[in-house]
Amino acid sequence: MPMTTWRETALTNSYEFAAGAGYELPQYPFVEPPELHANRRVRHPVVIVGGGITGLTMACSLAHLGVRAVLIDEDNTVGVKGASSRGICYTQKSLEIFQRLGLYERIAAKGVQWSVGRTFAGHDEVYSFDLRQQGNFHLSRQPPFINIQQFYIEGFLVERIQELGAVELRWQNRLTAFEQNADFATLTIETPAGPYQLEAEHVIDASGSHSPLRKWLNVPFDSKRGDDRWCIADVRFSTHPPQERHTWIEAPFNDNRAVWQHLMADDVWRIDYQMAPNADPEAVSREDVVRERLARQFGADVQVDIVWVGPYAYRSECVHAMRHGRVFLMGDSAKVVSPFGARGGNTGVADADNLAWKLAAVLSGKADGALLESYNDERLDAARQNVSVTNRTARFLRPADGTERVFRQAAIGLAKQHPFARALINTGRMAVANAYAHSRACTYAPTGAAGQSVQNVGFEWADGSSGDVNDLISWAHGDLLVLAFGELPPTTLQRLRRLCLDAPVRSVQVLGARGTAQALEHVRDPRGHLQGACLADGQAWALVRPDGYLAATGEAINAQLVAAIERSLGLRGEPA
């Protein structure tokens, strides 16, 4: 059967599969940068290095906020030429971010929603879950997960950036040298038309795990490489397996090694086979060997169209700091994780969402430059958590002889009979929005909550139409958002109005089904979903950041709220 390719369709300005060989990715034209013919170097507020999912999300986030920037990428396409579809699972938090940026509908139309996962040991199902039944997923307007090939999302991001303007995408621009001083950074770039230099106030390193900037800056990092080898097979079937995430700890059709099974866009399935530690990557990736494995799993009469096949091995890395002078590391430039639980590309999307609003606030004069330090506080902690979680999964799936192997066998045996033991089965803890427990930009108090992501729950606008949290964030357009719950006395209303005049803050009163509207923008929360998502009880307030995170909550509109606003803008030091 023919392999499958990906091509750009001019009539629909979208992407589809077509007959051919391998993935055929869209190609973007090289345009000569104006600096090639300028008599002096041009200084840009932000330069992004790398046009993968992280760099493009950063570019789209800045464009959405009206921040001018330049993105350079040494290639002329999205995805990786000749490689697999790479990331495929996108979390609810990532989908909420993409909805705010204006490309969620494209992703939802192309991708596949799922919430049910099942784990097997041999022929026995030992564990299952439905994310829609879990409280941290079920209220958002976005589903728990959508599966879609990474290059689709990258292509949608390119389209959206071009629609928004503000950010210039420069293809076939390769970074060859870098230096920085107290005032700016200088980047030397090679192009098909010759080299040039540009200056930048801030540099975003989204160039991936082989980042040249990380090497030039001598960034210290921790690294761990294992001997666990896997083989990806992206395939189409004549008959469809269930639209669920299936994992096998011990698959009888794979020599009792692990297997992953996921559906993606275009009816393409991702099957990951764990190989023996000494397996030959070339041998396990031959088409005849792949077809033999598929026949053992799905039956000898299965009809299969092989889209792509490739081997890979796992490693983990994490830098010691995500800011180095004027350079901010994000995505795989900052950390590399095993692909268990969808904690790779999703964390890069979250890195971009975290930094973009802070850079926009600082560049516009709304916030102090000290706010940028909170990026390292929050996202380095998230990176360490994700590396730790995925490393634990890797050890469960390939345990060392001795205690680890005994524990795994005991967990499998107990899980087959006792529900309490099913939580011990670790085939990948599914990614969630990381909480920011140690950030100088959040306020922590015994009576309040901070550092938690707010689900994109629904409410009613004053006119009765439906809205969601992202609508409120977009309405605030880069400012902080104060949600005041319940009836408010006149003095409190006056304080809120004064806050909105004195600081980059927008205020909204949140009423129940029968609350009385007062002289303030208001919405109704008849089911209490908005208040619950903000972890606020009774007459209270919640300070929501442009990235959908809680900066603080409290009970009275007083100095505590003022302090929380100042801290969220980098105007105060350590958290309370």
H or E element that contains 409: helix 403-415
pLDDT level of residue 278 (50, 70, 90 thresholds): confident
Q: How far are the Cα atoms of 108, 265, 266, 485, 554 from residue 152, in angstroms, in the given order?
A: 11, 9, 11, 40, 42
pLDDT level of residue 2 (50, 70, 90 thresholds): very low
Pairing of strands 257-263, 269-275: antiparallel
Residue 554, pLDDT > 80, answer: yes
pLDDT in tens, 322-333: 999 999 999 999
Give the pLDDT mean for 272-292: 88
What fold does the segment set 458-568 form as a domain?
A: Glutaredoxin (3.40.30)
H or E element that contains 165: none
Domain regions of the chain by residue span:
458-568
Q: How far apart are CA 118 and CA 135, in angstroms?
A: 19
Residue 17, pLDDT > 50, answer: no
Strongest mean pLDDT among 95-104, 140-149, 263-272, 396-405: 95-104
Mean pLDDT of the chain: 87
Residue 536, pLDDT > 90, answer: no
Q: What pLDDT score does 314 carry?
A: 78
Q: What pLDDT score does 503 carry?
A: 83
Pairing of strands 466-468, 480-485: unpaired
| Whole-number percent of the chain with pLDDT over 70 | 92
Residue 3, pLDDT > 50, answer: no
pLDDT in tens, 115-170: 888 999 988 898 888 877 776 667 899 998 999 999 999 999 999 999 999 999 99
Range in 2-6, 61-65, 243-247, 267-271 the model is least confident about: 2-6
Q: What pLDDT score does 544 carry?
A: 95
Q: What pLDDT score does 575 carry?
A: 47
Strongest mean pLDDT among 389-398, 421-430, 541-550: 541-550
Give the pLDDT mean for 530-536: 91
Q: What pLDDT score does 517 carry?
A: 62
Residue 37, pLDDT > 70, answer: yes
Residue 19, pLDDT > 50, answer: no
502: exposed, middle or buried (Cβ count in 10 Å: 0-12, 13-18, 19+): exposed
Q: How far are the Cα atoms of 115, 389, 406, 530 from residue 420, in angstroms, in the given order?
A: 21, 20, 18, 33
- Give the type of residue at 173: N
Residue 100, pLDDT > 90, answer: yes
pLDDT level of residue 202 (50, 70, 90 thresholds): very high
pLDDT level of residue 519 (50, 70, 90 thresholds): low
Q: How far apart are CA 494 and CA 185, in angstroms?
A: 45
| Whole-number percent of the chain with pLDDT over 90 | 52
Query: Which residues have a Cβ under 8 Å from the Cβ of 299 and sit 6 or more positions away?
Result: none
pLDDT level of residue 14 (50, 70, 90 thresholds): very low
Give the pLDDT mean for 30-54: 92
Q: How far apart are CA 372 and CA 364, in angstroms?
A: 13
Residue 532, pLDDT > 60, answer: yes
Q: How far apart are CA 121 and CA 36, in angstroms?
A: 60
pLDDT level of residue 469 (50, 70, 90 thresholds): very high
Give the pLDDT mean for 72-84: 81
pLDDT in tens, 394-444: 888 888 889 999 998 999 989 888 888 888 888 888 788 898 988 888 876
pLDDT in tens, 176-197: 999 999 999 999 999 999 999 9
327: how many CB neighbours lie within 10 A of its CB? 24
Range in 189-193, 254-258, 312-316, 542-546 the model is least confident about: 312-316
pTM of the model: 0.92
Residue 48, pLDDT > 90, answer: yes
Q: Are 147 and 45 in contact (CB under 8 A)?
A: no
pLDDT level of residue 315 (50, 70, 90 thresholds): confident
Q: Mind giving me the DSSP string for 445-483?
A: -TT---SPBPP--EEEETTS-EEEHHHHHHHHTTSEEEE
Top-confidence residue, 155 or 564: 155
The tokens describing 55, both together, are 């760099």
Q: How far apart are CA 108 and CA 152, in angstroms?
A: 11
128: how many CB neighbours lie within 10 A of its CB? 14
pLDDT in tens, 331-367: 999 998 877 777 888 999 999 999 999 999 999 999 9
